[in-house]
Every structure is written in C-alpha cells, then in structure tokens.
Amino acid sequence: MQKRLLFNSKLLNITISRLCQHLIENHGDFSDSVILGMQPRGIYLAERIKKSLQKQLNKEVPLGYLDTTFHRDDFRRRDIPKTPNQTKVPFIIEDKNVILIDDVLYTGRTVRAALDAMTMFGRPSKVELLVLIDRMYCRDIPVEANYVGRKVNTILSQHVLVELAEQGKKDNIWLINDPE
C-alpha cells in the first residue's frame, strides 16, 4: 500500500492559521458570522479554527455541529447505512453568514446534504465552504470551496486518510493508493 503524507502536525497548524487569517479578512469580527463543523471529522477542524479565531479576535465565535446523515442522497444505495452523529446547532442561522467546515471535499454530495440539513435552522444570508483538502476534478455536483487548505490531484483509486489528535492519534493526513 503506497501512501503520501499531505499534512503533518506542523503544516496543519500553519495551514489552519492561514485559513483563519483569510476568514477574518472576509468576516471581520464575526458578529454576523457562525461556523458549522460537519460530522464526523469536520467538527475537530472547526473546533481548532474556532479556538484560533477566538484567540485573535478576543471574543466568542459561535460554533455548531451539523450531521448530514438523514439528508444524504445515497441512503438505501449503500450496502451499510451510515451511522448518524449528533447535530448541535445552539443558535439560529437566519440572516447569518455561515461557514461550513469539512476535512475533505470530494464528490460534493456531503456538502449538498449539508446545505439541505442547514435549512432546518433558518435561512442564512450567505454560505461559504472551508475544506482542508480539495480533491480536484472529482466532483459529481457543481460545488466548490471558498477556502482551501491544499488542493490535491487524485484519482478514483486513491483515498484520503485523516488522522487527528482528537481521535487519539497523531496529526497526519495521508493520500493512500487503494490496492487494486
């Protein structure tokens, strides 16, 4: 099994602080903006971004967890149904600028489901997408990210393995070649 390291801990931290700078540039003091981490791994990334933003802005940045399981379009088309995770959005997103956060952007279908799931909590005035890794040229749906940690050119027989400290592992993100 061949694998290539895309992010180690150091690079991940640098990338997150760069993404935060970019967010502050566009959202100012976050008085009209909220961040939504997508379950399961987007929430860890969102927590880190929230922490980094709060340190720089010196104020609370609202964060919610969004689970898209019940809104997916591949339910009953997978062999094993996806296990749902907790959705925790303790605020109304009506008229807010929402930043969706996920680890990997691949086909775009999860983002489509997230856009759907989000409407349960109001009509946002604007939605943006932040991802750590953008797998280019793999989209099934016309969805693109506004903030990207790293663009990677991949093929179908590869997958991205995200290991984060929050899961009890070392921060490492790999691009793995699946065995034929």
Partner 1 sequence: MSQLKSKHLLGIKNLDREEIELIFETADNFKDVLNRPIKKVPSLRDVTVANVFFENSTRTRLSFELAEKRLSADVINFSSSSSSVKKGETLLDTVNNILAMKVDMIVMRHSSPGAPHFLSKHINANIINAGDGTHEHPTQALLDSFSIREKTGSVAGKKVVIVGDILHSRVALSNIFALQKLGAEVMVCGPATLLPKHIASLGVKVELDIRKALEWCDVANVLRIQLERQKMRYFPSLREYSLYYGIDKQLLDSLDKEIVIMHPGPINRGVELTSDVADSDHAIILDQVENGVAIRMAVLYLLAGKVG
SS3 at position 159: strand
- E strand map for 79-125: 97-105
The answer to whether the CB of 51 falls within 8 A of the CB of 61 is: no
Does 90 contact partner 1 by CB under 8 A? no
Q: Can you list the alpha helix ranges (DSSP code H) found in the chain?
A: 9-27, 42-57, 109-118
Residues that bind partner 1 (rule: CB under 8 A) add up to a total of: 20
Exactly one of 87, 146, 172, 177 binds partner 1 (CB under 8 A); that residue is 87
Exactly one of 1, 10, 25, 83 binds partner 1 (CB under 8 A); that residue is 83
Taking the complex as a whole, the smallest distance from the CB of residue 40 to partner 1 amounts, in Å, to 13
Task: List, in order, residues 6 or more apart from 155 with CB less than 8 Å away.
Answer: none
In this complex, which beta carbon is closest to partner 1, that of residue 27 or of residue 72? 72
Closest listed residue to residue 112, CA positions, set 140, 138, 152:
140
Q: Which stretch binds partner 1 (CB under 8 A): 28-36, 54-62, 114-122, 134-142?
A: 114-122
Exactly one of 21, 26, 31, 86 binds partner 1 (CB under 8 A); that residue is 86
Q: How far apart are CA 41 and CA 30, in angstroms?
A: 23
Exactly one of 67, 102, 103, 128 binds partner 1 (CB under 8 A); that residue is 67
Does 107 contact partner 1 by CB under 8 A? no
Residue ranges in contact with partner 1 by CB under 8 A: 67, 69-72, 75-76, 78, 80-87, 116, 119-121
